[in-house]
Amino acid sequence: MDTIYLHIKKESGKTDQEEEAAIRQAGEIIQSGGLVAFPTETVYGLGGDALNPESSRKIYAAKGRPSDNPLIVHICRFEDIYGIVNGLPEAAVKIARAFWPGPLTMILQKSELVPRETTGGLDTVAVRFPSHPVAQKLIAYSGGYIAAPSANLSGRPSPTSAKYVAEDMDGRIDMIIDDGEVGIGLESTILDLTSDVPRILRPGYITREMLDEVLERVDIDVTIIDPESRQAPKAPGMKYRHYAPKGKLVIAEGTPEQVIRYINTHAEADRQAGEKTGVIATAEVLEQYHADVVKCIGSREDEKTIARNLFSILREFDDDNVTSIYSESFPAHGLGQAIMNRLLKAAGHRIVRL
Ligand code: TXA
Ligand code: MG
C-alpha cells in the first residue's frame, strides 16, 4: 500500500482551514476501517477505529504485535468515557480532573461497546484523553474513539517524530500525519483503577509523587521496581522486551568517576574485539568518554530533556550500526522512574552496580 504523508508542521505553509480539511480526511480514513499514525504529546500513535474489530486486527498486523497485548482507547471529550466503561470509580473522576487531557491512561472495566479484539481479550479497557490538539481533532473526526498503540514495529523504541514512524510503518498503513517532534518522548503513565487500591502499571510523565497528591493510596506494580519478581506484570505489554536497540546495551551505575572509568575501559576492550561502540552520556561529563559514537542525552539538571531524547538516541545507534552501547544510570524517582524503566528494558536489565 502507498502511505499518504500529511504535513501539518508550521513549515508546511497550510492555512488553518487546509489543515482542518486534511485532518477531517484522516478521520474519514479511520472511520472507513483504515489506519493513520498521528502525533500525541507522549509519542506517535498508530490509530484505528477502537469500536471496529477489523481495525484492531489491522493494527496488530501492521505492528507485528502479539494479539494478547491490549490497545489504549483515545478520547477527546471527558463525557465520551461513559460509552466505553462499565462504571466509573470516584478515584477515576479525581484523576481525570487533575491530569486530563494529558499523558495518563486509566484501566477500567469495559462496556459492551468495546470489542475484545481491541482489549486483547480482557474485560478491562485502557482509556486516555491526550492533550495534543491534532490528536484531539483526529479523534473527533474519527467518531470519538481511536485505538492506538505506539506507532513502532513491535520491539522497537516508540517513535518520537514522524520520520521514525515512517521508518517502521511506510507501506504498512494508510496515512502518517507529520507534526515534527513530540514534547514528552515517553509513553503515558498507566494507572489501574480496577482494584481497591489504584496501581501504576507503567511509570510515565505523571509521576507517582503527582498521583500521591490526588489519591489516598497508590501502589506500583512490583515488576516495575523488581524485575526479578516472578509475577507477571498486569499490563501485558510490559512483559515483552521493548525498546530494544540492535546493539547490546549495558547500564553502569556508580559515582561519575566510577561510571566513566568502567565505560571507557569496557568500550575500549569491545573496540579491540571489533565492535562499534557507543555511549549515552549526560552533558556534564560528555567530553570524558572515548568511544566511536558518544551521544548527549541532556543535562542531569533537566530530566525532561533526558526523557525526550532517550528513544531517538536508541534509534540513532541502530542507524549508526553501533553494536556495543553503554549508558549512564539515573536516579529512579520522579520522572527518573519512567526513564530508568525504559532504559532497563532496552538493556534487557543488564545493569552493572559499581
Ligand atoms: O502514550 C501512550 O500511551 C501511547 C500514545 C500513542 O497514546 N500509547 C502507547 O500504547 O504507549 P502501547 O500500546 O504502546 O502501550 C499500551 C500499554 C501496553 O503495555 C498494554 O499492555 C497496556 O498498555 N494495556 C492496554 N490495555 C490494558 C488493559 N486493559 N489492562 C492492562 N494493561 C493494558
Ligand atoms: Mg508501545
pLDDT in tens, 282-295: 999 999 999 999 99
One fold for 4-220 and 248-353:
no
- The ligand minimizing its distance to the Cα of 243 is 2
CA 74 to chain centre: 14
Output the pLDDT for position 239.
72
> What is the percent of the chain where pLDDT is above 90?
89
- Mean pLDDT rounded to a whole number for the chain: 95
Q: Which residues contact 275 (CB under 8 A, 6 or more apart)?
A: 323, 324
CA distance 234 to 332: 21
- The answer to whether the CB of 43 is under 6 A from ligand 1 is yes
Compute the average pLDDT of residues 312-323.
96
Ligand closest in space to the Cα of 190: 1
Closest C-alpha to 346, from 312, 321, 295: 312
Question: Ligand 1: which residue has its CA nearest to atom 3?
Answer: 188
Beta carbon of 234 within 6 Å of any ligand 1 atom? yes
What is the average per-residue pLDDT within 86-99? 97
pLDDT confidence of residue 244 = 79
The matching CATH number, chosen from 3.40.50.2300, 3.40.50.300, 1.10.10.60, 3.40.50.11030, for 248-353 is 3.40.50.11030
**Count H helices, E strands: the chain?**
11, 16
25, pLDDT greater than 70: yes
What pLDDT score was predicted for residue 240?
Answer: 65
Spacing, Cα 80 to ligand 1 middle (Å): 19
- Bridge partners for 106 per DSSP: 127, 191
- Local confidence band at 99 (pLDDT 50, 70, 90 cut-offs): very high
> Quick one: pLDDT at residue 224?
84
Rg (CA), the chain: 20
Per residue in 322-340, pLDDT (tens digit) is: 999 999 999 999 999 999 9
Q: Which residue from 285, 333, 277, 280 is spatially nearest to 306, judged by alpha carbons?
A: 280
Q: Cα(50)–Cα(67) distance, rounded to whole angstroms?
A: 14
Tell me which amino acid residue 196 is. Answer: D
Q: What number is the average pLDDT over the span 120-149?
A: 98
Rounded Cα gap, residues 83 and 7, in angstroms: 32
Say yes or no: CB of residue 71 within 6 Å of ligand 1.
yes
Atom of ligand 1 nearest to the CA of 184: 1
The pLDDT of 62-78, averaged and rounded, is 95
Class for domain 4-220, per CATH?
alpha beta
What tens digit of pLDDT does each residue of 46-60 get?
999 999 999 999 999
pLDDT value of residue 179: 96
23: pLDDT confidence band, cut at 50, 70 and 90? very high
Question: Residues with Cβ < 8 Å from 131, sequence gap 6 or more?
Answer: 41, 101, 102, 103
Q: Is the pLDDT of residue 208 over 80?
A: yes
Q: How far is the CA of 221 from the centre of ligand 2 (A)?
A: 18
Place of cell 497508590: 218
Give the ligand 1 atom nearest the CA of 124: 29
pTM score over 0.75: yes
182 CB within 6 A, ligand 1? no
204 lines ligand 1 (CB under 6 A): no
* Structural domain spans, the chain: 4-220, 248-353
Atom of ligand 1 nearest to the CA of 74: 7
Q: What is the mean pLDDT of residues 106-110?
A: 98
Atom number in ligand 1 closest to CA 128:
7
Taking the centre of ligand 1 as the mean of its atom positions, its distance from the CA of residue 4, in whole angstroms, is 26
Query: Whose alpha carbon is nearest atom 19 of ligand 1?
Result: 237
* Cβ of 102 less than 6 Å from ligand 1: no
Quick: pLDDT tens for 216-262.
999 999 888 777 777 888 888 777 666 778 899 999 999 999 999 99
The H or E element that residue 141 is part of is: helix 133-141
Shortest CA distance to 240 belongs to which of 222, 223, 220? 223
Distance from C-alpha of 117 to C-alpha of 10, rounded to nearest angstrom: 37
Q: What is the pLDDT of residues 190-202, one digit of tens each?
A: 999 999 999 999 9
Whether residue 128 is predicted with pLDDT greater than 70 in this model: the reply is: yes
